[in-house]
Structure formats: structure tokens, C-alpha cells
Amino acid sequence: MQSKFSVKFLTITLLVFNLNLFAQHEVPAANDDKNDIKKEIKADIDHHIQDSHDFVFTYDKENNKYYGFSLPVILWDNGLQFFSSSKFSHGETVAENNGNYYKLYHNKIYKTDAEGTIDLDDHQHPTNVKPLDISITKSVFMIIVTGILMLLLFGGLAKSLGKGSISKGAGRFFEPIIVYIRDDIAKPNIGDPQYKRFMPFLLTVFFFIWFLNLFGLTPLGVNVTGNIAITTALAIITFIITQISGNKNYWKHIFWMPGVPWPMKIILAPIELLGVFIKPFALMIRLYANIMAGHVVLMSIIGLMFIFKNWLGSGLSFFLAFFLTIIELLVAALQAYIFTMLSALYFGFAVEEHDHEEAH
């Protein structure tokens, strides 16, 4: 009963926070054209799902003042350039550092002059020099926060288990999940005892994705796992571990499939080799598309409240958003589970031993 109440409370809290996220931006007045409202909502959604160089919690339109905090900008442009993103004033001013001028244009940093000139080509793409940007953006910041959180949680869990067989504190909640990943994901798909060397990665990737998915439902405006660069990096790590762990049977099944006539082996070899690259690509797209779609749909439903502006339409939108928020809480864990399950499955293919005479 208490757990059901906690889930309901968490869902309502997340929904209210997301409503406040919309409210922090200016919503057009009732007599404004609906197209302007839709453009405003689209801009808010883009602001939520895109990465940026600062956190904005609220905005005072009357005083043109943002409330949040800036993040460090780190550029490589004829040397290391280091300054605070507050110099950009949220894209409204030109940042000067060591005699160089930089302009924030569509959340990307370009080198410019003191007036902030951005030259565009025929396709409206900037032609200004773009320095190498290795800044700590809000996505990078949340990755660091998640990493520290995981170190504290599971470091404490390891210490408590070292003192006894029963975990303490938050470890009592996370220990059953760890056991489930070991007994129901790693062992069945990889096998015993090979699963042990893959457990650190499987546990890390599961909780990393899950925590970041949950952070994405907060008003912090972070969409880390909905960033294709992040999902690509995770998929590449899985790909590399799979190929490094592959035994001779794994490679033989790719390049010279046993148990089939040799003409078929020649035909199957390029197909199997293509499958090696399709698997991590599927991991990347599945996580990215599901999380991105969830954010866009939820924010769009919330935005309908500002379009209808009546008790019926806004009320229905609120309950639909409430329902979708519950679904998103489940999707946050489900996508972490699917990524971990498929990774374990690929590792199992790589280390599986075959007796070809019996298997075929």
C-alpha cells in the first residue's frame, strides 16, 4: 500500500514539475493567435530535449532575468579557451576571451567578431569557424552527477555487505535488482561462469540508463538518453566488448557457418558480418527513439492545456499527461532492462561454446 502511494506521489510530483517547466517560459495571452501558442510550445519542447551550456529553472519575463546556473565552456581554438557560459547571456551577447569572440547560435558555439556576426550560406547554415567544443554541458553535468550518485550508492552497498550478509539503507532497495540482473539476465544469456566478467558492465549500464531516464522526467530539462551521441557511445562500448570477447566459434559462425553447404557459407558470410554492425545500431536507435519520443509526446500533451484553455480540454490533457507520466516511469526502467538484456545476449553469442557435431 505504501509503495503504491509512493508511486502516485512521485508521478504527481513529476507532472507538476513538468507543468512548472512550461510555466517558466512566457505563454501567449488568450487573445493571441493559436499559431503563436503552438510555436511557443514547440520552442519549449525543443528547449527541454536539447543540450545546452547552462541550467535554467525559471525566467522572469518582466525583468528579462533567468534563474539557474551557468556551466564552464571549454574550447580548443589556437589553445585552450576556458570561461563561464554566463558570458553568452543565454545567446543574447558575444563572449570575449583572450581577445577571441564567440557567439552561441542554436546551442552551438561559433567564432565571430565583436559584433557577433554569423554568416550563413544558401542553406542557412553558419559558415563561421566552429572551435572544438569540449564544454561541460548540462548532459555532461548530469552524467557526472549520475556517476557520483552510483559510486556513493553502490560503494555504500559494498561496504555494508562487507560487514554482514544483509545490506543497509538504500542497499535494501537496490540489492534485489542486482540479484535479478545476475540471476535472470546475465546467467541465462551468457552462462556460468562466463557471466561473472560481464557483470560490472551490465550493472553499470542498467543503473546508468535507468537513473538518467528518471532525471529526464524532472524539470531539470535533461534529455541525456534521448541524445543520439550518448546512445551511440553506449552501443559502441557493447560492440567493442562483444568483439573482444568473441571466441573462435563466434567468428567461425560469422565467416564460415558450420553445418551448411559451402555455397551457402559464402552467401551467409556477408549477411552475418552485416549483422555484427546492425546489432549495436539497433541498441542505439531503440533507446534513443523511445526516450526522445516519450519526452516529445509528454511535453506536447502538457502543451495542449495552454491551447485549449478550458476546463474540459485542459482537464483531459492533464489526466492524459498524468497517465503518460506513469508510463514514462515504467519506460525508464524498461529501456534500461532491454539495453542490458540485449547486451547480455550479444555477450552470450560471443562466448558460447558449440559442439558442431551435435548442434547441427
Between 55-59, 170-174, 289-293, 313-317, the lowest mean confidence (pLDDT) is in 313-317
Cell matching residue 290: 523511445
- Give the pLDDT confidence score for residue 9 in this predicted structure: 44
Cα distances (Å, whole numbers) of residue 200 to 205, 236, 348:
9, 17, 15
Cβ contact 191:351 at 8 Å:
yes
What average pLDDT does the chain have? Answer: 80
Between 10-19, 91-100, 178-187, 215-224, the lowest mean confidence (pLDDT) is in 10-19
Whether the per-residue pLDDT at 324 is higher than 90: the answer is no
For the chain, state the CA radius of gyration.
25
Query: pLDDT, tens digit, for every residue of 263-303?
Result: 887 888 888 888 889 999 999 999 998 888 887 777 777 77
Q: Which of 281, 153, 170, 144 is nearest to 222 (CA)?
A: 144
- Round to whole Å and give the CA distance between 327 and 10: 13
- Give the pLDDT confidence score for residue 24 in this predicted structure: 45
Query: For the purposes of burial, counting CB atoms within 10 Å of the CB of 333, is it exposed (0-12), middle (13-18) or buried (19 or more)?
Result: middle
Mean of pLDDT values over 178-200: 92
Query: For the purposes of burial, counting CB atoms within 10 Å of the CB of 87, is it exposed (0-12), middle (13-18) or buried (19 or more)?
Result: middle
pLDDT grade, residue 35 (50/70/90)?
Answer: low
Q: Which residue pairs, CB below 8 angstroms and at least 24 apart, start in 143-152? A: 143/212, 143/224, 143/230, 145/215, 146/208, 146/211, 146/212, 146/215, 147/208, 149/211, 150/204, 150/207, 150/208, 150/211
- Give the pLDDT confidence score for residue 164 in this predicted structure: 63
Q: How is the beta sheet containing 95-97 ordered, strand by strand?
A: 95-97, 100-105, 108-112
Cα distances (Å, whole numbers) of residue 64 to 54, 58, 67, 135:
16, 11, 10, 26
Q: Which of 211, 224, 225, 299 is nearest to 17 (CA)?
A: 299
Share of the chain above pLDDT 90, in %: 29
Whether the per-residue pLDDT at 334 is higher than 80: the answer is yes
- Round to whole Å and give the CA distance between 281 and 289: 12
Task: Report how far Cα 8 is from the mean position of its chain's Cα atoms.
Answer: 24
Share of the chain above pLDDT 70, in %: 76
Cell matching residue 65: 532575468
- Give the pLDDT confidence score for residue 21 in this predicted structure: 47
Cα distances (Å, whole numbers) of residue 97 to 103, 126, 234:
11, 21, 34
Helix then strand count (H, E) for the chain reads 11, 8
- Give the pLDDT confidence score for residue 355 in this predicted structure: 58
Task: Report how far Cα 326 is from the mean position of its chain's Cα atoms.
Answer: 19
- Give the pLDDT confidence score for residue 34 in this predicted structure: 57
- Give the pLDDT confidence score for residue 7 in this predicted structure: 47
Q: pTM for this structure? A: 0.80
Whether the per-residue pLDDT at 360 is higher than 50: the answer is no
CA atoms within 13 A on the CB side of 298: 31
Whether the per-residue pLDDT at 171 is higher than 90: the answer is no
Q: What is the DSSP letter of 183?
A: I
- Round to whole Å and give the CA distance between 143 and 138: 9
* Top-confidence residue, 284 or 321: 284
Query: pLDDT, tens digit, for every residue of 137-165?
Result: 989 999 999 999 999 888 888 887 767 66
Query: pLDDT, tens digit, for every residue of 71-97?
Result: 899 999 888 999 988 888 877 889 998
Whether the per-residue pLDDT at 113 is higher than 80: the answer is yes
Between 87-96, 190-199, 206-215, 292-301, the lowest mean confidence (pLDDT) is in 292-301
- Give the pLDDT confidence score for residue 359 in this predicted structure: 46
Highest mean predicted confidence (pLDDT) among 87-91, 178-182, 190-194 = 178-182
Torsion sign, CA atoms 47, 48, 51, 56: positive
Whether the per-residue pLDDT at 167 is higher than 80: the answer is no
DSSP 3-state of 254: helix
Whether the per-residue pLDDT at 233 is higher than 50: the answer is yes
Between 165-169, 249-253, 297-301, 340-344, the lowest mean confidence (pLDDT) is in 165-169
